[in-house]
Chains A and B, each alone.
Chain A
Amino acid sequence: MVKTKYLIIGNSIAAVNAVEAIREIDRHGSLCLVSDEPYHTYSRPLISYYLGNKVEEEALLYRPDYFYDLNKVQAFLGDKVVSLNCREKQVVLEDKTYIQFEKLLLATGGSAIMPQMPGQNLAGVFTFTTLDDAQRVKKFIATHQVKKAVVIGGGLIGLKVTEALVALNIQVTIIELADRILSATFDRTASRIIERALKGIGCACLTNTTVKEIRQGEEDGRVGSVVLKDESQIECQMVIVAVGVRPRVDLAREAGISLGRGILVDEYLKTSVEDIYAAGDAVEAYDLIAKMPRPVAILPTAAKQGRIAGYNMAGGRKVYEGSIPMNSVELAGIPTISVGLTDPAMLADVDRRNSLEIIQDYRERESIYKKIVLEDNRIVGVILVNKIDRAGIYTGLIKDRVDVAYFREYLLKDDFGLLSLPREYRKHMVIGQGIEI
């Protein structure tokens, strides 16, 4: 039986940030960390870079290799928690180790969704969220000289995989259920710019359709083609399924912790059970833009939640103010940033939809697009394509709910900066940390 003050289940962004926050307050309290993956703290968004040979395996590390020693962490890597007993404050690992904790963090992350379809178990069908996934894909490509691949799902993960495959000289067809790629993060115009750029690097994008069956080729047990819902067939040697990620909540569910679509938490990131906290992609926290609790599976949110949960586990009392969905991603050489509510047309609430204002600047020839969504003179969403510099100023205005009525004509200018902001707010920003302007 191992006894520990702090136990963290998970080893990715939320877990690492929780470790660091705990150690800012409590240098010495015993800290155990368990992960079913046998790896050091690697960065999941980098696996597409790894697949595309843009970074080496060693460069995937999110923290230096002395991270566990520096922070006095007893790490159980490659070992899985099989059960959690909230009343006894105890977990059991697969290798029968018992760990007794005082405070627990569930940072169990998300897992790839695999829709049921005939042929899904053929060799050459992969999801793409973990380093193991990336290594399997890499190995399969090398062994079988893949020339053509189908990527199911035109979201961020699907498109980053696509980019990596293109870098490996593989011809990719993207299959998207919605009427456009990136429908969750972009509006129609931005989607079209990226779709055009993907076609420019040789990819095909098929929208409004879905794969109904994966068929094996001549080689026994290996992918040979996919069949779409209109019965058309696309030849390929590999299929990547990237239709989404869902919170990994099995352990919490079996332990009787309250769940929504993810693990439910209060403003201190505590779950329904005393002394048990949750952070990261597994969590359903308040979404400031959607104005309701919702899992927002993005890296900055995982880091922030991890930090706050860590502080609070170590006796702090910090409030998690809520999530703002945001993404920065470069696709086919085009940098893009999207923050908050980017496409009012997607809103179900008609009254809210009608109350929103849009200002935009679209320079089609240069593929430059800037769009700002306003609600009661406050920015609630931004899309930037190709001109992304200083994007965070908008993010700050969204977060701080700043009334932009007096400077809105400057918002879309290419030289928009702090100078355009009201003097008082500008001062507040630079003074924020005890600095005067």
Chain B
Amino acid sequence: MKRIVIHEEYCMGCRLCEIHCLVQHSKSKQIIKAYKGEFPKPLPRVLVEEQGYLSFALQCRHCEDAPCLEACMTGSLHRDAETGAVICHEDKCVGCWMCIMVCPLGVIARRREGKKAASKCDLCAGEKIPVCVQHCPNEAITFEER
């Protein structure tokens, strides 16, 4: 399947990936509305970790043996048969946070505003290339067949 590959040596920590991810997963898909006017507030599904000069963008790896799929008690987390991506059916999720307990990368976030639900990377279902990759100015994340 096509996956997001992380190249930490090229990441400058600009966090544009987080911004574009948040906007992409908002209702309006417009940056100002997404940041200021939406409830529940949309969350970025990519996380930039940074310390001094070292930084990298991290999102769900869509693991082959995904522990979150096994821990999900509602069945809301599932693997998309076509893309192989691990997707959360947010309407069905009750926010038990079992997935957060088992994800070794810590890339599932809690949506706490409005209806509780797990929030995670969906590889921008519908987009050819995930928006974080599209907008990374330094190719610190790339989308490749692996």
Contacts and interface: CB of A to CB of B under 8 A. Distances in A.
Chain A complexes with chain B: yes
Interface of A: 13, 17, 43, 45-46, 49, 54-55, 59, 61-63, 299-300, 303-304, 307, 326-330, 335, 337, 339, 388-393, 395-396, 399-400, 417-419, 429-430, 432-437
Interface of B: 3-8, 47, 49-51, 54, 56, 58, 61-64, 67, 69-71, 73-75, 92, 94-106, 108-110, 146
Contacts of B51: 419
Contacts of A55: 94
A25 to B, nearest CB: 15
A364 B52 CA distance: 32
Given A390-B106, A392-B105, A436-B5, A46 B61 contact: no
A43 B3 CA distance: 31
B104 A299 contact: no
Given A393-B106, A395-B101, A395-B102, A54 B75 contact: no
Nearest to A384: B101
B44 to A, nearest CB: 14
A399 B102 CA distance: 10
A257 B105 CA distance: 40
A300 B49 contact: no
Given A300-B67, A337-B101, A396-B104, A389 B110 contact: yes
A278 to B, nearest CB: 17
B73 A337 contact: no
Contacts of A307: 70
A432 B7 contact: no
Interface pairs A-B: 3 shortest CB-CB: A396-B104, A390-B106, A392-B103
B98 A328 contact: yes
A437 B6 contact: yes
Contacts of A435: 3-6, 61, 146
- Majority DSSP secondary structure for residues of A touching B: mixed
Contacts of B105: 392-393, 396, 418, 429-430
Contact of A43 (B74, B97, B106): B74
Contacts of A432: 61, 63
Contacts of A337: 97, 100-101
A300 B74 contact: no
Contacts of B103: 390, 392
A299 B68 CA distance: 11
Contact of A437 (B8, B69, B99, B146): B8
A331 to B, nearest CB: 11
A418 to B, nearest CB: 6
A390 B8 CA distance: 20
Contact of A59 (B6, B92, B110): B92
Contact of A391 (B64, B96, B100): B100
Nearest to B56: A437
A428 to B, nearest CB: 10
A337 B100 CA distance: 9
Contacts of B95: 330
Nearest to A390: B106
Contacts of B62: 433
Nearest to B47: A417
B39 to A, nearest CB: 19
30 contacts: A43-B75, A45-B73, A45-B96, A300-B102, A326-B101, A326-B102, A328-B98, A330-B95, A330-B96, A335-B97, A335-B110, A337-B100, A388-B110, A389-B109, A389-B110, A391-B100, A391-B101, A392-B101, A392-B106, A392-B108, A395-B101, A429-B104, A430-B6, A433-B61, A433-B63, A433-B146, A435-B146, A436-B6, A437-B7, A437-B8
Contacts of B6: 430, 435-437
Contacts of B74: 43, 46, 59, 62
A329 B96 contact: yes
B61 A389 contact: no
Given A300-B102, A391-B101, A46 B73 contact: yes
A33 to B, nearest CB: 17
A324 B69 CA distance: 17
A435 B60 CA distance: 12
